[in-house]
Structure 1
C-alpha cells in the first residue's frame, strides 16, 4: 500500500468532495463551516503570502495558537510553500518559546488565540515575522484577512517527497530543554492512512479538537486522521464554552488525557454523587436510562471511539466510565514515532494495557526491559542534536525510555520509566509507575508522584482532587490511610510507603510541576519538597503539606 502524502491527500478530497465541509469553527457562539475548496484556497493564498514575505523553501515557520480552523489552514500553507512547521504549546513559558524559536531558527510565526497573550511577547525575537490569525492576540506586522486579500492563490504548490523534513515537534521536556523531533511526510501519511483503515473512520465521523495541536497525538489523531478520512472537525471556542461546544458537536471520535477524563468525571459527580449514581446504575432499566443521560450530558452519546493517551490512566477511572457505557481505549506512542504505537481497539480492550501494536508497527522488549519500536513513522532525528539521535535511534529501532511487558495475546503493559526507577538508602530499587497506578485508584487522588531516592522507604506526594478538597479532612485522611495500608500489604518490604504527603498547591504548567502535555515533572517536585520530606514524623504516616 502506497499512501498519499499530506498535500496529495488534500488534492484528492479537493477533487472528490470540494464542497463538502471539513472544518467548523465557532466565533462568538456562531458556527462557521469551511469546505475543502475553501480550505485549499485560503491555504494557497497564505502560501503565496509567506513566499512574498521572504520565506524560502526549507525555512521554519512557527505556530503559536489554541486550536482553530486557521491552525489547520496555516499548517497546510506552510507545506504548500515548501516550508517547515514548528508548532508551539499555548501553555509554554516565554523563555521556552524563545529557546525553540532560536534553536529552530524560525523565520515567521502565526499567532492566534492565547490566554494572556502579552505574557508571550518577550519570547518572540524581534526578527521573527509575526502574522496574526483572525482572533485577539499579540500585536503583529501582518494579519490573516489582509494577507488573504492581498495575495492570489499559489498555482503550483510544493511537491512533497516522502523523506523530506515536514515538521519539527519539540518535546514538552520533563527534564532539561525540549528536543526538536524531525518528522517527515511519510511518517504523517503512514500513521494516518493505516489508522483510519484499522479504526474504520470515514467521512461520516465527527472529531472535536481542543487538545494542543503542538502535541503529536492531537496532530495525528485529529488533524491527520481527519485529512485521511474526510471526517469533519469542530473546534472548541474557549474554556468557558467547552462543555456547551462539546454537547453541540457530539463527536463520534474523541481523544482526551487522563487528567481531563478525571475532570469530566468530577463534573458528573458534582451533579450526581458517586453513591447515588452507583445505586441508580444497579437498577436494570433505570440504570440504562441514567447512564444514557450522563453520556448525553457530557456530549459523548454518539462517541464510538474514545481514546486516552499521553499519560497513564488509573484503572478505577476506566471502570467508572465503563459503568456509564463509555469504553476508554488507552493507547501509547511518542513524539518520536508520531504517536503511532500501540492501541486498544474498540471491542478488543484489555484494561491495564496500552493495547496491541498498530498495523505494520514492530514492537519488542529489550533485555533491559525497555520498549522498542520500528516503523516508517520513526523520526528523522533530533534537530541539530546528532548525539542524542544516535542514542535514541539504534539499528533502526526507537528506544522509548519506557519499560514494559508484552503478554501472550500481544497486549503491551507499561511498567515504568527506565530513568524513573530510584534506589532507596537501603540499596533497593523501586519502580514508581505500578505503585502510583494503585494509589490513583482512590477517587480522592488527582495526581500522585512516588519518590524515595536515598530515603529509607518510598513516600507518595498526592494532589487531592477538587471533590476531595470539599470533604471533611478526617474522612479523606481515613480513606487514604486505608489505601496506604492495603497497598503496603501487597508490596515488597523495600517498596512499602512510609508516608502520604498531601500537597495544598495544585500541580500545573504555570508553576512548573507539569509539562504542557500534562506529564508530571518529577525532578521539579523532588526539588520543591526535598527539605520538607526530610522532616517528616515517622509516627504520622499522613502529612498535610
Structure 2
C-alpha cells in the first residue's frame, strides 16, 4: 500500500490525496508522503530509547479524520504496528486495550505532538498556518519501505466493546488482496479510479473505514475522511449531513454502514425545494456492510441511479469476503439483488475466496486436495461442505491471528480457514448461477449493533458488578435501524424491591454502562426479572430472553421518564 502511494506521489505529485470533511487538512500525494515520513521520524523520538523497532505496537486513539490516517501511515512507514481504537471509548476500555497489546507509544486524536510538522514548509496542511499561502514542498527522494506481505501492518480490536478485547493482527497483504483480485479478474463490483473522490464516514478503528481509505490512497483517489475531534469533545465524530458532504466534495464512491445508508435514503425521501437535488452527478457507487440493510433504503438509492454493493466480512477476514452488487438478475440467480436482500442473502464470494460450511459446529475443514489449491480452483465451495451450518472462509486477506492469544487464534484459524461464527445456508439456483450465501444467525451469541460486535458475556459482567444485582443476562433486541440493540435482564439481590427501588437499580446499572462501555453496548432496555433460564451446564438461554422480552410493553426503560433512544450513537442515559 505504501509503495503504491509513493508511486502516485512520483507520477501525480500535486493531485489531491487526503482531506478531512471539516477542511482542516488537505494533502497532495507529495505532501502526504513527506508528512508520513516526518511523522514516522517523530514516532521514533517518542519511543522509549528514541527508536521504534519493527513490530512495536503503537496504540492510536483516533477519530475518522485525515490526521488520524497520517498517524496510521506513519506507524506503517516506521515498521511499527498501529493498533487503532475509537476516541469515543471509555477510558477503562482503552486501558484494557493497552493491557492487551503492551504499546511502546500511546497517542490520542487530540495530541498535537505528531500532527505539527518539523518546519513550516512541511506542515500537515494545504496552507501555511501563519500566512495562509499555498505550500511549495520540495519533491525529495521518495522511497517507501519494502513490501512484506506477511508482516503485521495494523491491529483492530474486536469483541471488546465492554470488556476483555481481542486485537486482530492484519498483515500487509490483507488490505489489497481483494481489490487486486477483482482487478485481475475484471470484476467491477467495487472499483476505485485514480483522480476520483472517494469518501467514508466510518472511523479508522472500523475495518470498513480503514480498508476503504487505504485502498483509496493505493488507487490514486482523492480520499475524503471525517472531521477531526476537538479536544475535550465527547460523543460521535459529528459528521455533517451525508448528502451535503457528497455534494460538497463531488464524491464518486462511498463506504458506509446500513444505518447511515438509511439516513441517506431518508434524506432522499424527505428532500425539500431548498435541499440539494438528490445525489450529486459524480456519485456512482455506495458500498455498505456491517449489518443487515433495509431493502427500501437500498431501493431508494438505486432508484436515484447509484449502484450499490453489500459487503460481508469481519475484521478477521481483512474486511470483505462476500459481495452482493446491484443486479436485476444476480448473474443468473433468477433474483434481483433487492429480492436477495429481503431473504438475508449476504452475497457471493470474490474470485479467490473459498467457503466451507459445516453442519457440526465443532468440526473443522478437512485439508484440500492438492489438485484444487486457492486461488486457481474454479469452485468456491470446499468439496466437504454441507448446505447449512457454520461458515468457514479461506481468503488471501485473512488475519495473522489475535495478538497474544494463541488459543483464541487456534479456535478460529485452521490451515488457512477462518471460522466466522455465523450460521449460513448455501444456495445455487442453477449449475451456471452464482453460489449465494444466506445468513441464518450467529453461531456465537454476539449482538451486532450497527455493525459493532457486542459480547453479551461482557455486558453481563458489567451489570453483575453493580451493587444490588444478583444475576444478569444480555440478549438481542431486533431493531430495524441497527439490526439489533442490547437488552438486559437483571435479577436483583433483593427479590422484594418495590417499583421505585427497581427504577433506582436500573439507573445505577445504566450509569455503570455509561462509564465503562461504548454506546452500542449500553442496554436499550433493562428489565427486572425473578430468574434467568439456564442450560444444565449453566449457560444463559439468551434466545429465550429475546422471546420473552421482545414485546414493547415488557420493557421498562433504563430511565422510565425517558423515551427509547432513536440512535445508539446518540443514546440518552438516565
1:245 paired with 2:245, answer: yes
Instruction: Say which of 286, 300, 311 aligns to 1:306.
Output: 286
Gaps of 5+ in 2: 123-137, 228-236, 331-336, 361-388, 429-433, 448-474, 490-505, 533-544, 557-574
Match of 1:402 in 2: 422
1:170 is aligned to 157
In the TM superposition, what is the alpha-carbon distance from 1:267 to its structure 2 partner?
A: 4.3
The alpha carbon displacement at 1:192 in A equals: 3.9
Aligned to 2:220: 230
Alignment of 1:46-61 (within 5 A): 46-53=39-46, 54-57=50-53, 58-61=55-58
Matches within 5 A, 1:199-210: 199-210=190-201
Select 2:2's aligned residue among 1, 7, 18.
7
Residues 158 and 321 from structure 1, CA distance in 2 versus in 1: closer, same or farther, beyond 3 angstroms? closer
**8 A Cα contact 1:252 1:304, kept in partner:** yes
SS at match of 1:355: strand
SS at match of 1:144: coil
Q: Which has the higher helix share?
A: 1
Q: Distance in 2 between matches of 1:452 and 1:510?
A: 11
8 Å Cα contact 1:47-1:80 kept in structure 2: yes
Q: Deviations over 1:262-307 (max 9, x none)?
A: 33344455557xxxxxxxxxxxxxxxxx9xx98x555455322212
Q: Using the TM superposition, give the Cα deviation of residue 327 of structure 1 relative to its aligned residue in structure 2, in angstroms.
A: 4.9
Alpha-carbon distance change, 189 to 329 in structure 1, aligned in 2, over 3 angstroms: closer
Q: Does the C-alpha gap of structure 1 residues 361 and 160 become closer, same or farther in structure 2, counting only changes over 3 Å?
A: same
Q: Is 1:357 the counterpart of 2:357 in the alignment?
A: no
* Matching residue of 2:407: 387
Structure 1 residue 258: Cα displacement: 2.0
Q: 2:535 — aligned with what?
A: none
Matched, 1:335 2:310: no
Of 99, 103, 123 in structure 2, the residue corresponding to residue 102 of structure 1 is: 99
Aligned equivalents of 1:357, 1:101: Cα separation in 2: 35
2:347–2:437 Cα contact (<8 Å) kept = yes
Which residue of 2 is the match for residue 73 of structure 1?
70
User: Which of the numbers 14, 22, 27 marks the counterpart of 1:19?
Assistant: 14
1:508 & 1:269 partners in 2: Cα distance?
Answer: 37
Unaligned runs of 5+ in 1: 1-5, 114-131, 134-141, 273-289, 423-431, 454-502
Instruction: Name the CA distance, whole Å, in 1 between partners of 2:310 and 2:143.
Output: 41
- C-alpha distance in 1, partners of 2:446/2:31? 51
Instruction: Please give the per-residue CA displacement for 1:320-360, whole angstroms capped at 9, x wherever unaligned.
Output: 44454455422110000111210112334343421111221
Alignment of 1:276-315 (within 5 A): 296-297=276-277, 299=279, 301-315=281-295
The corresponding residue for 1:161 is 148
Cα distance change of structure 1 residues 150 and 45 upon mapping to structure 2, 3 Å threshold: farther
Q: Deviations over 1:241-276 (max 9, x none)?
A: 34433330132211221222233344455557xxxx
**1:123 counterpart residue number:** none
| SS of equivalent to 2:31 | helix
Structure 1 residue 379: deviation in Å? 0.8
2:263 alignment counterpart: 263
- Counterparts in 2 of 1:236 and 1:91: CA distance versus 1, 3 Å: same
- What is the number of equivalent residue pairs in this alignment? 418
1:128 is matched with which residue? none
- Looking at structure 1, the residues matched to 395 and 94 of structure 2 have their Cα atoms a distance apart, in angstroms, of 31
Given candidates 82, 87, 91, the residue that maps to 1:90 is 87
Report the TM-score when normalising by structure 1: 0.67
**Is residue 87–residue 108 contact of structure 2 (8 Å, CA) maintained in 1?**
no
> Is the 8 Å Cα contact of residues 200 and 256 (structure 2) preserved in structure 1?
no
Q: How far did 1:146 drift?
A: 5.0
CA contact (8 A) 1:253 1:306 kept: yes
Shift of 1:225: 1.6
| Counterparts in 2 of 1:33 and 1:407: CA distance versus 1, 3 Å | same
For residues 87 and 317 of structure 2, the distance between their equivalents in structure 1, rounded to whole angstroms, comes to 22
Q: Does 1:179 align with 2:166?
A: yes
Give the 3 Å change call, closer, same or farther, for CA 542–144 of structure 1 in structure 2: closer
How far the C-alpha of 1:200 sits from its partner, in A, is: 3.6
What's the Cα RMSD here? Answer: 4.0
> Distance in 1 between the 2:222 and 2:17 partners?
5
- Match for residue 275 of structure 1? none
Tell whether the 8 Å contact from 1:191 to 1:377 is kept in structure 2 after alignment: yes
Residues 20, 66 of structure 2: 8 Å contact kept: yes
User: Is the CA contact (8 Å cut-off) linking 1:188 and 1:224 kept in structure 2?
Assistant: yes
